[in-house]
Amino acid sequence: MGSANQTASVTEFILLGLSAHLKLEKTFFVLILLTYLLILLGNGVLVLVTVSDSHLHTPMYFFLGNLSFLDICYTTSSVPLILDSFLTPRKTISFSGCAVQMFLSFAMGATECVLLGMMAFDRYVAICNPLRYPMVMSKAAYVPMAAGSWAAGSTTAMMQTSLAMQLPFCGDNVINHFTCEILAVLKLACADISINVISMGVTNVIFLGVPVLFILVSYIFILTTILRIPSAEGRKKAFSTCSAHLTVVVVFYGTILFMYGKPKSKDPLGADKQDLADKLISLFYGVLTPMLNPIIYSLRNKDVKAAVRNLVSEKHFTW
């Protein structure tokens, strides 16, 4: 009963964000707003062309459409809250709102990790076993693969969010972050969080480690197969079919490694600067990859460029 009462006493959280750097808030409001609009436009166009253009009704573009829709959902789960915090003096979020935002962000992030692995498998089959590709990557296979990615991400997010929000919070409700980031929320708990830490560790291995290993092995086989192609033109064509996905993977995981793998400063005088840097890196991580994905796929894929041109010309003709 004591823990339940303590938990119930916290009805809202205060998001610290850039409260200590008020001069930066207006600047970052404009930057993040413009970036968010670009994300909605770029990924929205990709979703539209992958659905409307019959030439893109293939496994690769089905996964791409899912990735673009996922990026829209991921940024929408956090960016509007961040933008509002830049304009509001008191940056609060309700307990239930915090739980929902935490779940959505975690679910989208975990889903993207799995989906990128599925996309690597698709490229592996297309390049290493092209004759079997129509049979292996049939609609009966790639639709459940995408659905399984969403289900896996949502399930682990529900579990982690439930474990976090069931903890007792004893009055300290100031989250040193822009959003209800799960690690920042766990720091406020006044109980043993060892189960949460172990659970998070296992989740990271499953949703970060396993997909990275799977993608790495897939591209080792892909690279080996491409190098065996006798003609330079054939090698170039084969590599072009997976270069966009490989670029997205490098950007996605490279940003994560940079954000969590960089060494912490031991100088206490630089703690404030490091705290600000960590927040800004986290902020731009949340919008960088979703903004770059449509750009990468549009620049490096002639089918997508052709579909976008057709869409624009059709709309122009309609008007």
Tell me, what's the pLDDT at 269? Answer: 46
Three-class DSSP category at 15: strand
Per-residue pLDDT of 182-197, as tens digits, reads 888 998 888 889 999 9
Rounded Cα distance between 198 and 204, Å, is 10
Tell me, what's the pLDDT at 259? Answer: 66
> Is 2 among the domain residues?
no
pLDDT, greater one: 107 or 242:
107
> Is 225 among the domain residues?
yes
Q: How many of the other CB atoms lie within 10 Å of CB of 298? A: 17
Check: CB of residue 102 under 8 Å from CB of residue 198: no
With bands split at pLDDT 50, 70 and 90, how would you rate the model's confidence at 301? confident
Rounded Cα distance between 307 and 313, Å, is 10
> Is 241 among the domain residues?
yes
Looking at the structure of the chain, the number of domains it has is 1
CATH number of the domain where residue 93 is located: 1.20.1070.10
> Is 6 among the domain residues?
no
With bands split at pLDDT 50, 70 and 90, how would you rate the model's confidence at 100? very high
> What's the average model confidence in pLDDT over 259-275?
57
> Is 310 among the domain residues?
no
> Is 263 among the domain residues?
no
> Is 87 among the domain residues?
yes
Rounded Cα distance between 286 and 39, Å, is 11
Q: Which amino acid is at 5?
A: N
> What's the average model confidence in pLDDT over 198-211?
92
Per-residue pLDDT of 31-83, as tens digits, reads 999 999 999 999 999 999 999 888 889 999 999 999 999 999 999 999 998 89
Percentage of residues in the chain having pLDDT higher than 90: 48
139: burial class by Cβ within 10 Å (0-12, 13-18, 19+)?
exposed
Rounded Cα distance between 214 and 253, Å, is 13
Check: CB of residue 154 under 8 Å from CB of residue 107: yes
Give me the residues paired with residue 93 across strands.
Answer: 13
- pLDDT exceeds 80 at position 5: no
> Is 315 among the domain residues?
no
Residue-averaged pLDDT of the chain:
85
Cα 275 to Cα 77, 177, 271, distances in angstroms:
23, 10, 6
Contacts of 67 (CB under 8 A, 6+ apart): 112, 115, 116, 119, 248, 293
Domain of 54 in residue numbering reads as 13-258+275-304
